[in-house]
Amino acid sequence: MATDETESSVQPTRRKVLGRIGTGLAAALASPVLARQAGTPAPTTGAKPPAQSIKRDPTTQYKRPPFPKQTQPWPGLASKMVPPPDHGETSYQGTGRLVGRKALITGGDSGIGRAVAIAFAREGADVAINYLPAEESDAREVIALIRAAGRKAVAIPGDIRSEAFCQQLVAQAVKELGGLDILVNNAARQHQVGSILDLTTELFDWTLKTNLYAMFWITKAAMPHFQPGACIINTASEQAYDPSANLLDYAQTKAAIVNFTKSLSKQIIHRGIRVNAVAPGPIWTPLQPSGGQDPNKLPQFGADTPIGRPGQPAELAPVYVTLASQESSYATGQVYGVNGGNAQP
């Protein structure tokens, strides 16, 4: 039979409850794993933390046009660009969002792929990058940055216009990383041609093989290795929505990447695999001086965006990290625009 005990002897006081909660929370945060789950950042790697979080005007955060007139032979090197692009080498701070993940990134030597590789590594992922042999010097810098973050780095040079190489690329990445759960289809060919009369079958084929066929071949080869929780991130472009007159073939491929993303996401979500895309605007990468833009117009590259300048690769990396992390578990079939204020997508 129950006894009529007083409220003070049965129910803990508010002070006692708060004291117990505080003690439990302190104990939880003492564990690195539980601390991250509770929202406390894990130790960062690869860059010195800033003294404080500094608010900046995005219109002046990076150099604005005009830029020096410059050209490079395809595929171009980030190390030879003026001003040099920012890939987050000294700024990106990891918080443990991808600990234990294994990622393959095409075009990982420079530009967006390089920024994503650095960010993924500093978030705790092991990373394999693909690039062309001519980009070896840039790739070596990326490999060193991944290793400096304490993560495994795998360099796999080769031309993704070959189906056989694409299959080999995935197989090697899986073998050396010990699995695969993030695929970033990022490598692209962009070569501006003013008239369809000057767009040769060879150039057209080169663009489609690099931007579309390779994405299809690599994704298909990766599918058997994915487990629930894996994800695919494709690099599309604002060109899919507002194509430039001199990028006829490139813009077509980027529109196709958007539809590939949306269609594949519906096809494989039942397996617990998410597929999303990022649609950048004008980004300061080696694509631009190595034939992607008219050399006479390159000095004003990005000036027509609302922000008034091109984006830097470092400004896109956080979007890829978010899409790869479990924080985006309800996002699939989406396209995220990072384009300096242009209203697409």
Chain segment 147-164, per-residue pLDDT in tens: 999 999 999 999 999 999
Whether the predicted pLDDT of 79 surpasses 90? yes
> What does the mean pLDDT of the chain come to?
88
Whether the predicted pLDDT of 105 surpasses 90? yes
Sort strands 335-338 and 182-185 into parallel, antiparallel or unpaired. Answer: unpaired
Encode pLDDT of 17-66 as tens digits.
334 334 333 333 333 332 333 333 444 455 555 545 688 999 999 999 99
| 219-236 average pLDDT score | 98
Residues 6+ apart with CB under 8 A from 283: 111, 112, 310, 311, 312, 313, 316
Asked if residues 192 and 246 have their Cβ atoms less than 8 Å apart, the reply is yes
Written as one letter, the residue type at 49 is: P
The Cα 170–Cα 8 span in angstroms is 65
Asked if residues 240 and 219 have their Cβ atoms less than 8 Å apart, the reply is no
- DSSP structure string for 254-265: HHHHHHHHHHHH
Neighbours of 256 (CB within 10 A): 17
Sort strands 335-338 and 274-280 into parallel, antiparallel or unpaired. Answer: parallel
Encode pLDDT of 114-146 as tens digits.
999 999 999 999 999 999 999 999 999 999 999
H helical segments located in 72-135: 111-122
What residues are annotated to the active site? 250
User: Helices 136-148 and 111-122, interaxial angle, to 10°?
Assistant: 20
Encode pLDDT of 191-224 as tens digits.
999 999 999 999 999 999 999 999 999 999 999 9
Q: Which of 266, 259, 213, 210 is nearest to 236 (CA)?
A: 259
Class level of CATH domain 96-338 = alpha beta
Q: Which of 218, 203, 255 is nearest to 74 (CA)?
A: 203
